[in-house]
Copies of this chain bind each other. A is one copy, B any other.
Amino acid sequence: MPISIEEIKPFLPSFNEELLEVIAASGVIKDLPAGMEILKEGQYVKMIPIVLEGLVKVFTSIEDKELLLYYIGSTQSCIMSFSAGLTNSPSRIYAITEEPSLLLLLPTDKLNVWVKQYPAINELFYQQYNLRYTEMLDMINSLLFGRMDQRVYNYLSEKSKIKEERILNIRHKQIATELGTAREVVTRILKKLEQEGKIRQIEGGIEII
């Protein structure tokens, strides 16, 4: 489906008319519901997404464990797929829409050229690299220092911040999956956090205090 410039312009204020035009000519817009897998592990990347609206989460997995690496929010992009796309190697992560999302998909071969041609888009990806880098470093630090209760609490407050809701509607199982641990462990820790007065478990959800 053809993209109109007006459609994408508000989301990409740093892009000039010329860049918006070439994007409109070659890009694709997708409107996806929550819970869609937009990138599979091992897959070769032909289109690199920029999230216009919504929220996408990015996972890595080893053996049968999974781990939530980071969220891609509005006007952000997915460095891992950018990287995999440009080097033409299979993706090491997978990505799922956490909320209904509006995505702008750019073909990798074109993007490869645009990056050299348009400073604004080059700038965007440098920013994304820097951002994800520090996030991955934080992840490494929390894995190394390790305390699971701290990780669960950070996970909850982070999620609460992103969603702008003090009450999260979430299952123990999902927390466990996204942190790469087991459900029982999360249950135990949540009880402990509740006793410490940091959270409150209400029916079908968790309130962060």
Contacts and interface: CB of A to CB of B under 8 A. Distances in A.
Interface stretch (A11-19, A42-50, A62-70, A192-200): A62-70
Q: Name A's interface SS.
A: helix
Contacts of A130: 83, 86-87
Contacts of A93: 137
B143 A143 contact: yes
A145 B92 contact: no
Given A139-B140, A144-B62, A133 B83 contact: yes
Interface residues of A, number: 32
A62 B139 CA distance: 12
A129 B80 CA distance: 10
A161 interface: no
**How many copies of this protein are present in the complex?**
2
Nearest to A123: B116
Contacts of A33: none
B143 A92 contact: no
B141 A62 contact: yes
Contact of A122 (B69, B116, B129): B116
Contact of A143 (B63, B79, B144): B144
A178 to B, nearest CB: 12
A5 to B, nearest CB: 24
21 contacts: A60-B137, A62-B144, A65-B145, A69-B140, A80-B137, A86-B126, A86-B130, A87-B130, A92-B134, A92-B137, A93-B137, A115-B126, A116-B119, A122-B122, A129-B129, A132-B133, A133-B133, A136-B136, A136-B137, A136-B140, A143-B143
Given A60-B137, A116-B119, A140-B140, 10 more contacts: A60-B140, A60-B141, A62-B144, A69-B140, A80-B133, A80-B137, A83-B130, A93-B137, A115-B122, A143-B144
